[in-house]
Amino acid sequence: MCALLIAAMAVHAATPQAPVVSIGYLEAENVALKHNAQIQNARAALDGAQADLITAGARPNAVMSVNTSGVDKTQYQYGTRLNALDTIVRIDQPFERGNKRDLRIAKATDLGQATVWDMHDTIRQERFRVVSAWLDLRVAEQAYQIAEANLAHANQVLDKARLRFKSGDLSGADLGRIESDHGRLLAESQAAQRDRSRAAANLSNLLGSEMQRERIGTRGDWPGVMTHQDAEKLIGSLGDKRPDVQASRARLAAAKQSVELARAQQTRDFSVGLQYERNNPTVINSVGAGIAIPLFTGNNFEGDIRKSMAEMTQAEIAMLQTERAARSESLLYLHELDQANARLKSLQDQTLQSARRIDKAADVAYTRGAMSTFEYLDAKRALRQAEFEALVARAEAAKAASAIRILAAVSEAAVANKPAHYDSPVQSMAPANLPDKDLQLPDLPGARQQ
């Protein structure tokens, strides 16, 4: 079995592998800004918003019509057969009233600005995902190094145990326990290698297609940790600058424009027409003009107005929910940062230091024969566990700090040129346009009566 394992490891070592491309976490963020699929999709949405703005600003097209009709052939006396046709050429130009075009432009502008802020929020989320993936890869790399170091040490212990077994100084049962522990460390090393490959693949997917063929590795320093005071100062300076909050307010502004646009439909538009008419068989040409005005005999657009007001209420509720969620998330970020920093400090200052002191003492005691092999392996296992927990705690603290750092950076950039009318128009926590609370709702199908 051991011979087969050694042969498999030799074949794996002989297999040529692509060189590892190492990248720092800030470099990874910059690559993602250019090539991340979600960010590219958010930027593509801006083109659609700009197209909507062009469409909103377009004026009604004129309509040209040509009508011909025949006359009795027995009654024409002049010219050719063509003179037997009556022809009317007419051009009608609609004109909008009620400020409809400006309202459409204002609505499209608000929705376009919401799309811009959606893009900034996507950038925030994807940058954090990239940093998280980078940290997961860094943890996987160092966990693999720890596993390899432990496996190398276990190989030495196993070799010594086999020599003691041959000399009769160690029983077969004890040798079996040592071999079992060695097998477990070998499995841990293989699992750590698998986790490292998966973490590298996840990071490369976030960075874009040009990194798919590369073996990704990390380089450089860890993202810096952040104190509670610094984090509170950053979050306190955000206020309502978060892009998701601004996007929800822009959509509420667009919904208000929709209400005004629906009301503007009650202002009658009109069309002005000019026509040229050729009468036959007398061949008399005439020019005329006309105007068309709609009569609201069946539709006063009351349904459109009420629907737009309902959509405005929904937009207002969505804005309030987004604002509440943003405040809750900010408090959660602070709470997670405090917990991660406290856990990291406890592990580094107490657990890890104690495990290292015990490990050094165990090395001396085992060398002098004052400690059994199994106690020695337990000490090594405790050190291995403490190192891994400290590694994970450091990554969690870095993730918590990175979430606040990225949120602050993106929020400041997103509201650099924020229009003033996107300030929150709602003073209370209840929607101003909430429908009648006394309205009886229909029973749900299949609902049981109380």
User: Which pLDDT belongs to residue 9?
Assistant: 41
SS3 324: helix
Q: Are 38 and 126 in contact (CB under 8 A)?
A: yes
Query: Residue 5 belongs to what H/E stretch?
Result: helix 2-14
Backbone angles phi, psi at 201, to 5 degrees: -65, -40
Q: Is residue 420 pLDDT above 60, yes or no?
A: no
Q: Is residue 444 pLDDT above 70, yes or no?
A: no
DSSP 213: T
Q: Is residue 427 pLDDT above 50, yes or no?
A: no
Q: Are 415 and 246 in contact (CB under 8 A)?
A: yes
User: What's the rounded Cα separation, in Å, for the pair 147 and 271?
Assistant: 81
The CATH code for residues 19-59+96-266+301-422 is 1.20.1600.10
Q: What percent of the chain has pLDDT over 70?
A: 82
Query: Residue 419 belongs to what H/E stretch?
Result: none
How confident is the prediction for the chain on average, in pLDDT?
Answer: 82
Strand 85-95 to strand 270-279: parallel, antiparallel, or no bridges (unpaired)?
antiparallel
Helix axes 25-35, 37-57, angle to 10 degrees: 40
Residue 204 burial (C-beta neighbours within 10 Å; 0-12, 13-18, 19+): buried
Domain extent listing, the chain: 19-59+96-266+301-422, 60-95+269-300
User: Which pLDDT belongs to residue 235?
Assistant: 87
The residues that bridge with 67 in the sheet, in sequence order, are: 88
pLDDT, one tens digit per residue, over 216-233 is 889 999 998 899 999 988
User: What's the rounded Cα separation, in Å, for the pair 280 and 271?
Assistant: 28
CA atoms within 13 A on the CB side of 258: 21
Q: Is residue 273 pLDDT above 90, yes or no?
A: yes
pLDDT, one tens digit per residue, over 171-185 is 888 788 888 888 888
The residues near 251 (Cβ < 8 Å, ≥ 6 apart) are 110, 111, 114, 315, 318, 319
**Side chain identity, residue 429:** M
Of 16-20, 133-137, 419-423, 441-445, highest mean pLDDT = 133-137
